Structure 1
Amino acid sequence: MRLSRRLASTTVAVALVLPLSYDAIAHTRVHTAEAEAEPEDPFGAACRIRVTGSHVTAYCHNPYPETDRVSLHVECARWWDIDSDGSSVAAEPAQTVRLTGRCWKEVASVWVSHRQES
C-alpha cells in the first residue's frame, strides 16, 4: 500500500512540474559559438514590440548604413483567429519605422523578421 501511495504522489508531482519545465525550455535560446561571434558588417534594426490587448505595435530603428527590410508577424491565440505576416517595410539608415498588427482576441506571439536589401 505504501508503494502505491508513494508512486501516486511521485506521478502527481511529475505531472505538475512537466508543463512548467516545457515552457521554460520552449522560451530559452541556445547560444552557440557561431551566434556569439560578431558579424563583420553589422546589420539589423533594433525593434521594440508592445502588445496592448489584441493590438500589436513595433518600432524598429536602424542605426546601420545598410537598409533593413522588416516585417511584423503576429500569431493569434485562438485557433479561428487569423495569424498575420505583414508586408516588409524598408528601414533606411538612421530611420525608425512603425509596424502594426492585431488579432480579434488574444495575441499568442509576435516577432519581427529582418532581410538585408541587396
Structure 2
Amino acid sequence: MRPLHRLATATVALAWVLFLPYEAVSYARLPAGDTGDAGDAEDAASAEPFGAECRIRVDDSDVTAHCHNPYPQVDHVRLHIECADWWDLDSDGPAVPAGPAQTVRLDGRCWKEVRSAWVSHARGS
C-alpha cells in the first residue's frame, strides 16, 4: 500500500508543477528598421518592461515599503494593508509617483496586527 501512496503523492506534485501558471514574462522587441503597423506599435508599448521593484517590511503594526523604479516610465505605486482584527480598518494609501531611477517610501499601519501588505502599480504619464 505504501508504494501506491508515494506514487500518488509524486503524481499530484508533478501535476501542480506542470499546470500552475508560469509567471515569467518575455518582452518582445521589434527588429531594427521594422516599424510595424499601428497595432504592433501598441503591442510593443504594452510589452515594454514596467513596474517598480518594491520591498515591504512589517514591524509589529507598522508597514514600510521602499519602491525603486529602474525603468524610464513613471509608475504610480500604492500601499495596501489588510489588518488581522475585524474591527481594525484596512487601508489603501494614496498613489505616489515613482519616476525613472527614483526610490519612494510608503508607510502605513494597523492598530494591532497586520495580516498582509502589498503594493499595486499603475502606469503614469
Q: TM-score, normalised by structure 1?
A: 0.71
1:31 is matched with 21
Q: CA deviation at 1:38?
A: 1.7
Q: CA deviation at 1:37?
A: 2.7
What is the 5 A alignment of 1:82-97? Answer: 82-97=89-104
Where does the alignment leave 5 or more consecutive residues of structure 2 unmatched?
A: 1-19, 28-46
One-letter amino acid matched to 2:25? A
1:75 is matched with 82
Deviations 1:20-44 (Å, cap 9, x if unpaired)?
xxxxxxxxxx423xx4232331000
How far, CA to CA, are the matches of 2:25 and 2:96 in structure 1? Answer: 28
1:55 is matched with 62
Does residue 99 (structure 1) correspond to residue 87 (structure 2)? The answer is: no
Secondary structure, aligned partner of 1:75: strand
How far, CA to CA, are the matches of 1:43 and 1:102 in structure 2? Answer: 28
How far, CA to CA, are the matches of 2:103 and 2:25 in structure 1? Answer: 26
- Equivalenced residues, count: 87
Where does the alignment leave 5 or more consecutive residues of structure 1 unmatched?
A: 1-29
TM superposition outliers: structure 1 runs of 4+ over 6 Å: none
One-letter amino acid matched to 1:114? H
Q: Let me know the Cα RMSD of the aligned residues.
A: 1.1
- Identity in percent: 63
Q: TM-score, normalised by structure 2?
A: 0.67
